[in-house]
A and B are shown apart, each in its own frame.
Chain A
């Protein structure tokens, strides 16, 4: 199979596109698929049904069964959920989680407040991981060339080969980057016994450039750790630090904290090609091609001044940045004015030189040790080229590989096509692949081993700062999955030495390594420490201390002198990780597939994004199919115009155009790996032309302009304007209103309300998935999204503010506003939506008859209608993901945000019984990395939400309708540099 096989199959052209026709087709198709009775036979059958209705009523539903435990675990009380601390891993870096379990069934993931990378928050990937666990399409059995075989057969086959008598020569391992101390120990064991065995690490998105950048600047591999809480000025060089990287949630929190503190507001300059979440949050955003960022970095370094750099920054390096001089100089002056309180951040996709320059600037500004500290990476063999996949590729090419064991990385799909792993894998005598799905890689391997999901595994993993977490399973492997630790331990020496294959369980392995890692003398209270580590979700005292590092100025000067940036291509292809499916690993997860991408609001596909200017120049409109040609390969992708992207760039995200192992995503979007060359993220030249075909993109929002209604919908201002206007924002809401209704709240009840701080919100989308997971919200598929029938109770509206070709993008989470004078309630003919004493706008599914009057009368358009029984015919495994505390809605019923009423009622019940309970949190609030959403009791004067409601930035959306919403927004304030226009 060549890379061409990955090409996205374009969806059929859609010549006549009346939306009504599609709606009808969709209805018939969906109904026919689910319903043995075709819609058109309905009337005929209905007649018979009415006639027989009387008889039908003579039978009763069969009795349900109650199936108790045989021996009830003492800690379990059926009906009371339990929470366990564990961790998920991405690129080898841990994120601590707390997982809710109902009678042994994990249903919801939250962040672990004790974990340094989470601080209580979780992102969209983590929120969606529950659905991946219950994915019925996961691999279910060990297979050899497609036929099911026993595990013992695999053990036998893998541990025999020419390498057994040659000290491991010919034995290769390909792993995902890992920080696991247990895996590191097993690998050390394997290496001790088989010194010639080769271990390689592969992920298309590992921070290789960052490590190399540190190697240039400091002479060793170090990772920068940012302390944004201490920074006043930040310059991001193509760095989307708010949504990517191992500390993304922590940085989002720190940034938001400094953002909403108007008296000491942080200022962010962003230089980037594609419009990212970080770019949208920036005060000043410079759009340049990704290949030009090096020049910007050099110009910035020379404007700041690097006195210790022999001969200074080469002028030739900085010369291309000349047109952006005003921006660079203003940023440099701002940085210089905040010595020791500023920071320059380089993006992972940028070449090592940019990282080195960022380090140099930070050093020159005395930021090292203040806003940036440097520490060795927790990743095993970080930056060590001996573990590069190039070694593996050449060994495969030379036919020197006898046994290749691949753990967790879908290398065939997720590597640039020019690395040709698809073809090379066949050159090993035998290959085994440990993966969640039977995917592109397993198709090329001798053995397929089903992998245990993180929520089914014992393991350990480390955070960006080295803090170790024990990964504990919430459930036994559903499909008999194994972990990388188990597979690797087949080769470890200790057990082989006794002439037998390892029979240790992963639990034993992790405990053994935990024991070995304890400081001497601490092993006496091993059991106590082990339990504490499991309970807290972190192992205390395992963080890696930052070190004092000095810039190697001479080395840097030498490297810079040698650097000659390639001339920019006419049109540059910028490939980036996808905010939904990442590098394709989440492409089987419907929640993520249907998550509207931040900034673009695109669902169920990726698209070739281009700026307004480039689109005009090439005559391209959103929806045109483009043929992209790069690195000698061709890929077709739909076009999507994104104002504010750099001109002469085409943006494409990774992870789409899957052909195997992600049933839901097959044929959706374009495979950017097919076009990539070298590393997946380096910018390359691209040719493009229109094919003449059109695509209907499943966008959740097609109109982004406020049409001058900024004051009604989204208040935004600069810090300067805000100070001048004073308490302008809440002026309208304090107007006295006449009403005939008695609105005095009932004494003794909570009065629930919410405040959303738009200065904090980045629009990352974690809340959308959290809401979906908590409230059993169905996914509807691309056709229904296209028709505007997405079911998300919480959506993120994206507005364009300012110049049409380079607008500022302002996200606004929009959910049921729980109006005190709710327009929906007046029009419901069956009283299915009513008000509760504690101020909720309630939705009663069992009363709803589906007139949709309420939705028509809702000015915020937050009500969602079930056009179909989306949950019917669901796989039994998938059903396990449902929250048992929330009704699974059926067809013909309206639904909407309930303020997570199940949590509020649970809280009420506990509180009234005097049992321990914390103030309730909604799912969106709990997961929000930047704490933009605050929920609470308005009758409590000390509550955070009450304070925010009284803030001078607070306002109600569509205030003039006098709906008196319980949700208040806080105006979006920016902090631009007065020097820049």
Chain B
């Protein structure tokens, strides 16, 4: 006869309890942790593409053109003041100068090819927003938001990279309190400008004189 003792054979080893609790805990951590990790990950510079210059067809050096040559931003990105798009200069804008200087430089071979073959230069986009975001340069540039505020120290970039996270949270930080980031209109393209008095005070004044609104309604950007 089989005794009752046979039924009391331990099916699970003694450490099964620990595994049980670990599994429960692990599952709970995964449920909470996975979304949290993904959310956190999406905000890392790696995910937002911050700080990484893409490979461009021409090694255009803003340091040289902005700092050494003193060319203003609007010479090439003239749409910024009157259009939603700042614009990438046409090849002919490059050729304005480079028909005179560095005419045989191998670095500029692509410019010459583009100009004479009448084929555009295919640049890689650095600052990309999702398709459902409608950003307008003119609305910012004409209201005292400096180029450097969003694009960083372009004058120090050998190759242009995305300087800010460009997340919605980052946009809203400024939209909720624009006075913290405003500068006089004649300093908009100035890369090195710093306020000569407390930004708080200057910002408040500028906000009033320029009529800067705090746009936080959805259709301000999403249409």
Contact = CB atoms under 8 A, between A and B. Distances in A.
B136 A909 contact: yes
A66 B123 contact: yes
Interface string B77-112: 011001111011111110000000000000000000
A71 B90 contact: yes
A888 to B, nearest CB: 7
B132 interface: yes
Given A68-B90, A837-B217, A79 B41 contact: no
Between B131, B143, B213, B217, the greatest number of chain A beta carbons within 10 A of the residue's beta carbon is seen for B217
A358 B115 CA distance: 67
B146 interface: no
Contacts of B136: 909
B122 interface: yes
B186 interface: no
Contact of A66 (B49, B88, B134, B218): B88
Interface residues of B, number: 47
Contacts of A39: none
A79 B87 contact: yes
A70 B92 contact: yes
Interface in B200-216: 211, 213
Contacts of A836: 217-219
Interface string A837-858: 1101010111100000000000
A891 to B, nearest CB: 14
Contacts of B142: 913
Given A68-B123, A909-B136, A60 B47 contact: yes
Interface stretch (A359-367, A753-761, A897-905, A953-961): A897-905
A65 B124 contact: yes
B119 interface: yes
A67 B123 contact: yes
B90 A905 contact: no
Contacts of B124: 63-66
Contacts of B220: 905
B223 A902 contact: yes
Given A79-B83, A887-B223, A60 B49 contact: yes
A79 B77 CA distance: 12
A54 B41 CA distance: 11
B89 A68 contact: yes
A497 interface: no
A12 B8 CA distance: 70
A78 B219 CA distance: 22
A885 interface: yes
Interface of B is mostly: loop
B85 A887 contact: no
B80 to A, nearest CB: 10
A54 B42 CA distance: 12
Given A64-B125, A70-B119, A78-B83, A909 B91 contact: no
Nearest to A103: B85
A905 B121 contact: no
Interface string A67-93: 111111000011110000000000000
A67 B120 contact: yes
A887 B221 CA distance: 11
Interface of B: 34, 38, 41, 47, 49, 54, 78-79, 82-85, 87-93, 114-115, 118-125, 128, 130-132, 134, 136, 138-139, 142-143, 211, 213, 217-220, 222-223
Given A60-B47, A65-B124, A79-B87, 15 more contacts: A64-B128, A66-B88, A66-B124, A66-B125, A67-B120, A68-B121, A69-B90, A69-B92, A72-B93, A77-B78, A79-B79, A836-B217, A887-B223, A898-B223, A901-B223
A842 B134 CA distance: 15
Contact of A912 (B49, B130, B211): B211
Contacts of A66: 88, 122-125
A634 B213 CA distance: 68
Contact of B218 (A78, A80, A842, A902): A842
Nearest to B87: A78
A66 B91 CA distance: 13
A840 B219 CA distance: 9
B82 A844 contact: no
B217 A842 contact: yes
A79 B121 contact: no
A943 interface: no
A909 B137 CA distance: 10
> Closest 8 A-B residue pairs measured CB to CB?
A79-B85, A79-B83, A72-B90, A69-B90, A836-B217, A64-B125, A68-B88, A71-B92
Contacts of B222: 842, 844-846, 887
A146 to B, nearest CB: 34
B223 A79 contact: no
A57 B89 CA distance: 34
Contacts of A901: 219, 223
Between A54, A79, A902, the greatest number of chain B beta carbons within 10 A of the residue's beta carbon is seen for A79
A386 interface: no
B87 A885 contact: no
A834 B121 contact: no
A714 B112 CA distance: 67
A97 to B, nearest CB: 24
A909 B54 contact: no
A904 B134 CA distance: 13
Nearest to A64: B125
Contacts of B82: 77, 80, 915
A886 interface: yes
Contact of B138 (A847, A885, A913): A913
B218 A905 contact: no
Contacts of A904: 219
B38 to A, nearest CB: 7
A63 B223 contact: no
A70 B90 CA distance: 5
A57 B37 CA distance: 11
A909 B122 CA distance: 30
A77 B83 contact: yes
B218 to A, nearest CB: 5
A836 B78 CA distance: 32
B91 A844 contact: no
Given A65-B124, A78-B83, A909 B139 contact: yes
Nearest to B57: A65
Interface string A260-292: 000000000000000000000000000000000
A57 B35 CA distance: 12
Contacts of B88: 66, 68
21 contacts: A54-B34, A63-B54, A63-B125, A67-B120, A67-B121, A67-B123, A69-B91, A79-B85, A834-B218, A836-B218, A840-B219, A842-B217, A842-B219, A844-B219, A898-B219, A901-B223, A905-B134, A905-B220, A909-B138, A912-B139, A912-B143
Given A68-B91, A836-B219, A846 B83 contact: no
A71 B91 contact: yes
Interface string A810-843: 0000000000000000000000001011101010
Contacts of A77: 78-79, 82-83, 87
Contacts of A70: 90-92, 114-115, 118-120
A78 B137 CA distance: 12
A870 to B, nearest CB: 16
A57 B38 CA distance: 8
Nearest to B126: A63
A65 B125 contact: yes
A846 B91 contact: no
A79 B83 CA distance: 6
Between A66, A68, A837, A838, the greatest number of chain B beta carbons within 10 A of the residue's beta carbon is seen for A68
B142 to A, nearest CB: 5
Contacts of A834: 217-218
A846 B122 CA distance: 29
Nearest to B140: A909
Given A66-B88, A69-B120, A844-B222, A902 B115 contact: no
Contacts of A913: 138-139, 142
A272 B158 CA distance: 76
